[in-house]
Amino acid sequence: MNDGPILAIETSCDETAAAVVDGRAICSNVVASQAELHTPYGGVVPEVAARHHLGTVNAVVDEALARAGRTLDDISHIAVTQRPGLIGALLIGLSTAKALAYAAGKPLIMVDHLHGHICASWLEPVELDAPFVSLVASGGHTRLDLVSDYRAPRLLGQTRDDAAGEAVDKGARLLGLGYPGGPALERLAAQGDRTAFTFPVGLGGKGERDFSYAGVKTALLYTVRDLGDDTQVHLADLAASYQEAVMRPLADRLIDAAIEHRVPAVSLGGGVAANGRLRELVQTQADARGLRLAVPDRALCTDNAAMIGAAAQFTPAIAWPDYLGYDAIATAPPGGIAA
Ligand code: KG4
Ligand code: ZN
Q: Please name the residue whose Cα sits nearest to atom 13 of ligand 1.
A: 182
Secondary structure letter of residue 211 according to DSSP: B
- Ligand having the closest approach to the CA of 332: 2
Helix/strand/coil percent split, the chain, to 5: 45, 20, 35
The pick from 31, 39, 138 for probing ligand 1's pocket by mutation, whose C-beta has the most ligand atoms within 8 angstroms, reads 138
Distance 301 CA to ligand 1 centre (A): 9
User: pLDDT digits over 47-93, tens only?
Assistant: 888 899 999 999 999 999 999 999 999 999 999 999 999 999 999 99
Q: Please name the residue whose Cα sits nearest to atom 23 of ligand 1.
A: 182
pLDDT at 25 over 70: yes
Residue 209 to residue 327: CA distance in whole angstroms:
31
- Please say whether the dihedral angle defined by the alpha carbons of residues 177, 174, 168 and 282, taken in this order, is positive or negative: positive
- pLDDT at 17 (0 to 100): 97
Task: Give the position, in ligand 1's atom list, of the atom nearest the Cα of 277.
Answer: 24
- pLDDT at 177 (0 to 100): 93
User: pLDDT digits over 275-327, tens only?
Assistant: 999 999 999 999 999 999 999 999 999 999 999 999 999 999 999 999 999 99
pTM above the 0.85 mark? yes
- Ligand having the closest approach to the CA of 190: 1
Q: Which helix (H) or strand (E) holds 13?
A: none
Read off the pLDDT of each residue in 128-147 and give the average, rounded to a whole number. 96
The pick from 168, 179, 247, 297 for probing ligand 1's pocket by mutation, whose C-beta has the most ligand atoms within 8 angstroms, reads 168
Residues with CB under 6 A from ligand 1: 13, 138-140, 165, 168-169, 180-183, 186, 270-272, 274-275, 302-303
User: pLDDT digits over 233-281, tens only?
Assistant: 999 999 999 999 999 999 999 999 999 999 999 999 999 999 999 999 9
Q: Are 37 and 48 in contact (CB under 8 A)?
A: yes
Residue 224 to residue 238: CA distance in whole angstroms:
9
- pLDDT at 44 (0 to 100): 83
Distance 170 CA to ligand 1 centre (A): 12
- Per this entry, what is the length of the chain? 339
Q: What are phi and psi of 159, to 5 degrees?
A: -75, 145
Percent of the chain with pLDDT over 90: 85
Q: Are 42 and 179 in contact (CB under 8 A)?
A: yes
**Minimum mean pLDDT among 63-67, 224-228, 330-334: which range?**
330-334
- Ligand having the closest approach to the CA of 81: 2
Task: Give the position, in ligand 1's atom list, of the atom nearest the Cα of 246.
Answer: 23
Neighbours of ion ligand 2 (CB under 5 A): 138, 303
Q: Amino acid letter at 181?
A: G
Task: Give the position, in ligand 1's atom list, of the atom nearest the Cα of 164.
Answer: 12
- pLDDT at 204 (0 to 100): 67
Residue 78 to residue 94: CA distance in whole angstroms:
10
Q: Tell how strand 154-158 and strand 15-22 pair up.
A: unpaired
Distance 146 CA to ligand 2 centre (A): 18
Task: Give the position, in ligand 1's atom list, of the atom nearest the Cα of 166.
Answer: 12
User: pLDDT digits over 113-127, tens only?
Assistant: 999 999 999 999 999
User: pLDDT digits over 3-24, tens only?
Assistant: 789 999 999 998 999 999 999 9
- pLDDT at 103 (0 to 100): 96
- pLDDT at 51 (0 to 100): 93
Residue 139 to residue 145: CA distance in whole angstroms:
18
Average pLDDT, the chain: 94
Burial class (CB in 10 A: 0-12, 13-18, 19+), 36: exposed
Q: Please name the residue whose Cα sits nearest to atom 19 of ligand 1.
A: 182
pLDDT at 338 over 70: no
- Give 11's contacts (C-beta < 8 A, 6+ positions apart): 17, 53, 57, 81, 85, 89, 90, 92, 93, 96
Tell me the three state secondary structure of residue 86: coil
